[in-house]
Amino acid sequence: MTVYVKYFASLRDRLGRAGDQVSVAETTTVAEIWATLWPEIALPSNTLAAVNMEYASLQQSVRDGDEVAFFPPVTGG
Amino acid sequence: MTVYVKYFASLRDRLGRAGDQVSVAETTTVAEIWATLWPEIALPSNTLAAVNMEYASLQQSVRDGDEVAFFPPVTGG
Amino acid sequence: MKIELRAEPFDPLAELQRHQVERLELKGRYGATAIFIGTMRDYSDRLSIGRMMLEHYPGMTERQLRKLVEIASQQWPLLDALVIHRVGELRPSDPIVLVAVWSAHRAEAFAACRSIMEELKSKAPFWKREDTAAGPRWVERNTPG
Amino acid sequence: MKIELRAEPFDPLAELQRHQVERLELKGRYGATAIFIGTMRDYSDRLSIGRMMLEHYPGMTERQLRKLVEIASQQWPLLDALVIHRVGELRPSDPIVLVAVWSAHRAEAFAACRSIMEELKSKAPFWKREDTAAGPRWVERNTPG
């Protein structure tokens, strides 16, 4: 299945790109998507994740076509 | 000594006037001023008092020329 | 810091605009503005209200307002504060009170604005007399904050 | 209830004026308006700031803002709420965020306004990058409320 990945703010700057498209097996979790894309970069511990624009845990499974986002702590307001 | 007394809001309406001028002995307290002026009306228990525009207890002594005020709980804002 | 009583209707947003223009030197220094506007409702305890008289104690009211804003300014690092309170005859939807504070960060702005309102409600000598459908009545106490 | 993102500078007081004119049917029903305005300061951690970029996650930001205002509306009896947040390039003294709530009584207005701001700060996906005298830097975390 295909998953669309987005990175924001300092994390995007560090990775050097704003997103990825990745093919993974069914029942893949958010954490496994990161590990597939960035095997040599540990996910920074304060990173937040979202699936389809809702906050998600790293253990959440994703589905075909989902949009997964990784970003640092938010600093609005 | 002479003390100037003011009443406000529902208390003034009930007493039928906005103030009094009263001659009392030295070391008279706020409570005694009320009792002198209104011997037949017990001071309503929620009445607030001020001496020279600062909140005062009923036990506070007043001085010659002081302005003493009695009024119900405040309801501004 | 500015404290005013007004005998005529006032527009809180226009007052804020005017006040900020007078304090241009603060621009860029404050990160937080907390504002409270109290407005006359057209009902109270299920009775329709047509008019309200706001009585005060000239002299003491101003003094107590100034004192409570000064206490808040000592408690929190405020850059500025503005309090305007109506007196006299009000109609429903007329603004009654405006409290605004400016500070570097939001925590102190929220806390000071709320504290000034609560202190004002419990200490500033104002009294409301409502003209209800069932006749005039003095408001006996403020609702807890 | 209205939630908006703005890519250009906005005037919070003018927005409030406009919004209230659109909601004239609420006049006389609300007794309390609590407002918070967050403004860009010209300094941060003792460094002078000349410019700030406010990045967001289009789609998710609006969704999260709407959600947190809805949660506040379920928690307190609000008559109306307005949230406007800037995105894009800001200059010192530019407004960043406006949160306003209208309700019958002050306790719920204060509580809801503050809650919406705290939730926004911790959950709405915005990120600040400041251009300081020492170069650009991402703000790493918000100060506690």
Q: CB contact, 8 Å: A4 with chain D?
A: no
Q: Which two tokens stand for residue B32?
A: 């005694």
Average pLDDT over residues D60-69: 98
Residue range D72-94: average pLDDT? 98
Q: 3-state class of C53 per DSSP?
A: strand
| Closest residue of chain B to C145, computed from CA coordinates | B77
List strands edge to edge, sheet with A2-7.
A19-23, A2-7, A67-71, A48-51, A54-56
pLDDT at D56: 98
Tokens of C105: 């960060």
The structural domains of chain B, with segments of one domain joined by +, span 2-71
What lies within 8 Å, CB to CB, of A1 at 6+ separation is A23, A24, A25, A26, A28, A63, A64, A65
Closest residue, chain D, to A72 (C-alpha): D140
Residues 28-57 of A with CB under 8 A from D: 50, 53-55
CB contact under 8 A, C109 and D35: no
Residue A34: Cβ within 10 Å count: 19
Q: Which two tokens stand for residue B61?
A: 């002594």
As given in the structure block, the two tokens for residue D53 are: 């970029």
pLDDT at D63: 98
Q: Residue D143 above 90 pLDDT?
A: no
How much is the pLDDT for C133? 85
Tell me how far apart the alpha carbons of residues D114 and D109 are, in angstroms, rounded to a whole number: 8
Alpha-carbon span A8 to D83, nearest angstrom:
23
Rg of chain B over all Cα atoms, to the nearest angstrom: 12
Q: Are C26 and C83 in contact (CB under 8 A)?
A: no
Q: What is the pLDDT of residue C33?
A: 98
Q: What is the pLDDT confidence band of residue C46, given thresholds at 50, 70 and 90?
A: confident
What's the pLDDT tens digit per position in A19-59?
999 999 999 999 999 999 999 999 999 999 999 999 999 99
Neighbours of C66 (CB within 10 A): 13
What integer pLDDT is reported at residue C43 of this predicted model? 86
Probe site for chain D from C41, C115, C139 (most D CB atoms < 10 A): C41
Phi, psi (degrees; rounded to nearest 5) at C44: -160, 125
Report the C-alpha gap between A70 and D16 in whole angstroms. 35
Instruction: Calculate how close chain A gets to D23, using CA atoms only, in Å.
Output: 25
Q: Compare all CA atoms of chain B with the CA of C38 and give the residue at the minimum distance.
A: B77
- Nearest-5° Cα angle at C65, C18 to D16: 35
Q: Shortest CB distance from C117 goes to which of B9, B50, B77?
A: B77
- Mean pLDDT for the stretch of residues D53-78: 98
User: Which segments of chain A are extended strands (E)?
Assistant: 2-7, 19-23, 48-51, 54-56, 67-71
Model pLDDT for residues C84-130, shown as the tens digit of each residue: 999 999 999 999 999 999 999 999 999 999 999 999 999 999 999 99
For A2-71, which CATH superfamily applies?
A: Beta-grasp domain (3.10.20.30)
Domains and CATH numbers, chain D: 2-138 (3.90.1170.40)
The pLDDT-based confidence of D25 (bands split at 50, 70, 90) is very high
